[in-house]
Copies of this chain bind each other. A is one copy, B any other.
Amino acid sequence: MFGVTILGNNSAIPAFDRHPTAQVVTLNDQLFLFDCGEGTQMQFSAYKIRRSRINHIFISHLHGDHYFGLIGLITSFSLLSRTQDLHLYAPAGLEQILKLQLEAASTTLCYQLHFHPITSEGILVDEKKFSVECFATRHRIECWGFIVREKKKPRKINKDVINQYDIPAAFYDRLKEGEDYITKEGNIIRNEAVTVPSKAAKSYAFAADTVYFEEIADKVKGVTMLYHESTYLKDQVDRAADRFHSTTVQAAAIASKAGVEKLLLGHFSSKYEVLDEFLAEAKEIFSNTQLAIEGCTYRI
């Protein structure tokens, strides 16, 4: 399973029971949290997110609607006697904010919180089955997007044919990596004859808050699903630029230029109660678009 669950899809001021930004990406047994607006820990309860599985949190920028729920989550983890380490990737200024709040409460967390300040584009997490990298967006203050990539998966042994060949089981791992097998007699058994490819590795890009910024299309090129903010409808293009935000059409243009498979729109302005026009406008440019709706999970 590789999917994203939306916990908050609204811009700065909570409205119409929509919450500030927070998304949980599930990749098999791992959960990643992208941004953590006020109320995120309550959204975990509302949508039955297993918070104990979160070991990595990524904060795009230090506007409050993207992180004011973090200190509550961090302290609740401690009240719930968390033991695993927690890795937090965020702009450097966040460390002192958290530290002051913990000190004011005389709180010592009962688990290890590793703060990783983000300083430049590149890989943040590199594990066996996935990686997470960051890229700069263009916003009123320093802001980062993130890409989670599954790693290329090994090929699978084709069980229907493998027994027709005399290949020792000890060699199977090398078959999965794509090697051919050479028999004692010197005959080559081509890898493709005995394995099948696994599903393609997928990827998810969270483009955080950003004004229309064409370079993002290069940065997220070819990802499976792109989340791009769309604070406004297309007629608000000037207001969007003023406030370092994007419109429907701009988000769709980035998706199109980047050649992604699917586009997810969010960070809707509180001026809109009804959202269907967001979908209609974006689909004119990029048909495989969905709206990020709270409580819904989107398969990547």
A64 adjacent to B14 (CB under 8 Å): no
CB atoms of B105 and A14 under 8 A apart: no
Contact of A76 among B12, B80, B93 (CB under 8 A): B12
Count of chain A residues near B, Cβ 8 A: 36
Among B13, B17, B45, B64, the residue within 8 A (CB) of A105 is B64
**Cα distance, A223 to B40, chains bound together (Å):** 38
Q: Does A109 contact B (CB under 8 A)?
A: no
Kindly report which residue of chain B lies nearest to residue A101, judged by CB atoms: B97
**How far does the alpha carbon of A94 sit from the alpha carbon of B104 in the complex, in Å?**
8
Q: How many copies of this chain are found per oligomer?
A: 2
- Are B105 and A62 interface neighbours, CB within 8 A? yes
A82 to chain B, nearest CB (A): 12
Q: Are A93 and B104 in touch, CB under 8 angstroms?
A: yes
Chain B residues, Cβ within 8 Å of A12: 75-76, 79
Instruction: Scan residues 55-112 of chain A and give those whose CB is less than 8 A from a CB of chain B.
Output: 62-65, 68-69, 71-72, 75-76, 79-80, 91, 93-94, 96-97, 100-101, 103-106
**B41 to A80, Cβ gap below 8 A?**
no
Q: Confirm or deny: A262 has a beta carbon within 8 angstroms of a beta carbon on chain B.
A: no
B19 touches A105 (CB 8 A): no
Select one of B14, B76, B96, B105 contacting A141, CB under 8 A.
B105
Question: Which residues of B have CB within 8 Å of A222?
Answer: none
Residues in chain B near residue A141, CB distance under 8 A: 104-106
27 sampled A-B residue pairs with Cβ under 8 A: A12-B75, A12-B79, A13-B76, A13-B80, A14-B76, A15-B45, A17-B45, A38-B38, A38-B39, A38-B41, A38-B42, A38-B68, A38-B69, A39-B42, A62-B101, A62-B105, A64-B71, A64-B75, A64-B105, A65-B72, A68-B72, A93-B100, A93-B104, A96-B100, A97-B101, A97-B104, A106-B140
Given contacts A13-B79, A68-B68, A93-B103, 18 further A-B contacts (CB under 8 A): A12-B75, A12-B79, A14-B41, A14-B42, A14-B45, A14-B76, A38-B42, A38-B69, A38-B72, A39-B42, A63-B105, A65-B72, A68-B71, A91-B104, A96-B100, A97-B97, A97-B100, A105-B141
Identify the 8 closest CB pairs spanning chains A and B, nearest first: A62-B104, A38-B72, A93-B104, A39-B39, A68-B72, A63-B105, A64-B75, A13-B76
